[in-house]
Amino acid sequence: MQNLAKIGIALSFFWSLIAQATPDAVELLERMGEAAKNLNYDGVFTYQTGHRVQSIRIIHRATEEGEVERLLSLKGAARELIRTNDSVTCIFPEGKRINIDRRPLGRGFPSDLLSRLSSATPYYTISIGGYGRVADRKARQLQVTPVDEYRYGYDLWMDDKTDLLLESNLLTAKGKVLETFAFSSINLNIDIPESVLKPQINGQQLTWNRKQTEPVIHKQSPDSDVEAQNQDIWRVTWLPEGFTLVAEQSRRAEGGPVVDQRVYSDGLSSVSVFLERRISHDSHLEGASKMGAINAFGMIVDDYFVTTVGQVPQNTVEKIGHSIEFIR
């Protein structure tokens, strides 16, 4: 009995340490988010996924009205991005085709990543690691571990003096790095004049609100009400805990069939499911495919092509794809 009592006391002490550590880690995460919004900084970071590497300069200024930042691509095609709070404008040189990707040039690093992570903390465990060095600055480590095998984890490094996120690594369950954002140089707490926040290239512009999602649009046929009423209704019967429908739309490509898209997210990770009526001469992904941190899975269900794509492990997109059911 005494041994059991000692074990009980030891376990109570162990769990109390865990309970104390978690709020501290969450507090550090919140401080990183505030630093990304409230500090002035001018730096260069590298984004790498698979064999693709981008080098980007970011100039960020905090004002009484909010945030203003300018991002410039330093490698490859010339592009600039100007963000004022949640309004984002991407500028492409004249003659270049506009890329409709709504997360170009660093995909919102460091501020957007931290805001998404904060909303998804119930599905991730956050713990404090040791110290290291990033961009020639002392950095503190935060480890973000998913609660299940259906999401990726993160290895974050924050500046020890200012709390700014300096590096983010997307990790598999075995610790393999799939994607990295990391500052190579940065100047902090500096004066940033209005002139350096102005775009330096002339060209085509695309503007959007970064928090805006695609509207929920129920599938309709543009050809006739009768056809619309006869269309199949489908549903996803399995999702990882915390994933919910955040966007839904139907599009018809020129000369092609209607393509349904539904987007599911836990706030940080997201998965898109595409459904397209099968045409005999069409080719389509069947089985698994991978590009950097993005996994895809394609299959044929009845007369439809089903494709599941997301920045999640392969088993997640496959399990979601296999869970699709049709309701006639």
- Among the four given CATH numbers 1.20.210.10, 3.20.20.330, 3.30.300.30, 2.50.20.10, the one describing domain 2-209: 2.50.20.10
The DSSP code for 216 is B
Q: Are 43 and 28 in contact (CB under 8 A)?
A: no
Q: Are 58 and 71 in contact (CB under 8 A)?
A: yes
CA-CA distance, 26 to 37, in Å (whole number)? 17
Residues of the chain with CATH 2.50.20.10: 2-209
pLDDT band at 275 (very low <50, low <70, confident <90, very high): very high
CA-CA distance, 221 to 77, in Å (whole number)? 39
Q: Are 192 and 186 in contact (CB under 8 A)?
A: no
Q: Domain 225-327, CATH 3.90.400.10 — does that match?
A: no
pTM: 0.82
Does an H or E element contain 49, and which? strand 41-49
Burial of 14 (0-12, 13-18, 19+ CB in 10 A): exposed
Please name the residue ranges forming H helices in 121-169.
none
> Looking at residue 15, what is its pLDDT?
36
What average pLDDT does range 15-44 have in this prediction? 77
Residues of the chain with CATH 3.30.200.100: 225-327
Kindly report which listed range (21-30, 58-67, 78-87, 139-148) carries the lowest average pLDDT score. Answer: 21-30
In 3D, which of 135, 136, 154 has the Cα closest to residue 145?
154
Q: Are 91 and 79 in contact (CB under 8 A)?
A: yes
pLDDT band at 254 (very low <50, low <70, confident <90, very high): low
List the structure tokens of 199.
């775009």
| Most confident of the following: 50-54, 213-217, 235-239 | 235-239
